[in-house]
Amino acid sequence: MSLSPFYLAYADLRARIAPFRLRTDFETRKTVANIDALLNRARELDAGATPSARFGWAVGHTVDNFMERAERYTAALEKGESPLRGMFCEPGMSFIDHSFIEKDGVMHVFYIRGYVGYEWDTRFCDTFGHATSTDLVHWDIHPPCLCTTRGCVDSYQVWAPGVTEKDGVYYMYYTGVNLDVAQSICLATSRDLYTWKKYEGNPVLLPGAWGAWREDAWSDCRDSMVFLDDDGTAYMYYCTAKKTEDGGMRTALGIASSRDMVRWQDEGAYCFDICDVTLESPFVLKKGGKYYLFYTNCGHGTSYAVSDNPISGWQSLGMLLEPKVPALCPANVPSCAEVFCYKGAWYISCAERQPGCEQYLEIFELYWQEDGTVKVGKRLE
């Protein structure tokens, strides 16, 4: 029986990774699981599966890409290397938008659970993952903590968890997505970070009258995060779209404020000339009396800006994390940045999306300079 060149290469890689299945350390298990995911997707495509679903996005979803990556990781294992060291995910899955919160000296991270080799419209992102660490390198993986709810505004998918604590209550703001991909900001709360209850009045936020939003069509209202200012006012930032005078729309940063973390007052939308595609995954903190906005500058990488107030006046301070390889599409860049202080040191995270939807958590040292700018240091490994 004659076998195809693909199948011969596929079977050979399977034979080469088999010995590593006997190992129990996390780095090897993670790498082998992701090699499996790459090989499985390559075989599906070789057998005629379509790489795209509803929206036709499939950059990097090719047999050659998946096989090349599987070959590279396998060769590294054979050399005694750990090719995914410093890159966390659940074995066999992708790690996407995320949020850190510390409790009793333990760092918790919540994240979208994606699938290697599949766009979100092919295999749905319908659960949030949860992991904990005391050193930001070794992570204990816990059961998924929240999922979609049939018949509700988050019936299709759940995206971009963002967790904030106030008065002993943990508030998780997340993007609920319906089947028409109309997005809205939803809320769940917890006392212990393990058991979460969705707010019965979801969604808690939609864009104001300025927004280009409708329930029955793709509408941007996602990637929310909440920052608590010194006076107790909570500010929410999210990715959205604003109507233009000519009847069109342009991407914008939506802003709202609250005193009770549930009822939100619209503060309008801020349009960014410093992003030539769109801004995603905003993250705001205050330091030295200034407000810093870290964000995904789609098509370029992770950037940041500064302002004297939390609502407007943002001035670009440049790029922090650029793609390691040329971006094939606006999404294939270091993204989803969070900035946090843990055990006296500052860090910035990202989840750089590789072509083909392979994505991992990476954490880098961050240093504040005397002039108010920041500098990215080495990656934690």
Residues 134 and 212 in one domain: yes
Q: 74 and 97 share a domain?
A: no
Q: Which amino acid is at 249?
A: M
Look at residue 84 and tell me if it is in a domain.
no
Q: Kindly state whether residue 83 falls inside one of the protein's structural domains.
A: no
Going by C-beta distance under 8 Å and a sequence separation of 6 or more, which residues neighbour residue 186?
153, 154, 158, 173, 174, 175, 176, 198, 199, 202, 203, 204
Low-confidence ranges of the chain (pLDDT < 70): none
- Please report whether residue 88 resides in a domain: no
> Do 63 and 97 share a domain, yes or no?
no
Q: pLDDT tens across 283-304, in order?
A: 999 999 999 999 999 989 999 9
140 and 68: one domain?
A: no
Instruction: Compute the distance between CA of residue 266 and CA of residue 256 in angstroms, rounded to an integer.
Output: 4
Task: Could you list the beta-strand ranges (E) of 104-156.
Answer: 106-115, 127-133, 140-147
Q: Which of 78, 106, 124 is the last residue of a domain?
A: 78
Quote the tokens at residue 311. 């609502």
Query: Which residue, 19, 43, 78, sits at the end of a domain?
Result: 78
Helix (H) or strand (E) holding 169: strand 169-177
Residue 353 CB-half CA count within 13 A? 33
Q: Which of 78, 103, 120 is the last residue of a domain?
A: 78
Residues 67 and 173 grouped into a single domain: no
Number of domains making up the chain: 2
Q: Is residue 21 part of a domain?
A: yes
Look at residue 86 and tell me if it is in a domain. Answer: no
Do both 51 and 169 map to the same domain? no
Query: Are 74 and 114 contained in the same domain?
Result: no
Whether residue 166 sits in one domain with residue 268 = yes
Q: How far is it, in rounded angstroms, from Cα 173 to Cα 226?
A: 8
pLDDT score recorded for residue 276: 80
- Contacts by residues 65-68 (CB-CB < 8 Å, ≥ 24 positions apart): 65/355, 65/356, 66/38, 66/39, 66/41, 66/42, 66/117, 66/356, 67/6, 67/9, 67/10, 67/13, 67/38, 67/39, 67/42
CB 323 within 8 A of CB 331: no
Between CA 238 and CA 280 the distance in angstroms is 8
Residues 69, 112, single domain; the answer is: no
Q: Are residues 12 and 113 in the same domain?
A: no
Residue 137 has a pLDDT of 98
How confident is the model at residue 272, as a pLDDT? 78
How many angstroms separate the CA atoms of 85 and 378, rounded? 13
Token representation of residue 105:
């000296």
Full domain range(s) for residue 16: 5-78
Q: What is the CATH classification number for the domain harbouring 255? A: 2.115.10.20
Assess whether 66 and 101 both reside in one domain.
no
> Tokens for 121?
């419209």
Whether residue 181 sits in one domain with residue 47: no
What distance in Å separates the CA atoms of residue 227 and residue 232, rounded to the nearest whole number?
Answer: 10
Assess if residue 205 is contained within a domain: yes
Q: What gap in Å lies between CA 140 and CA 131, rounded to an integer?
A: 5
Geometric angle at alpha carbon 223, from 154 and 325, rounded to 5°: 120
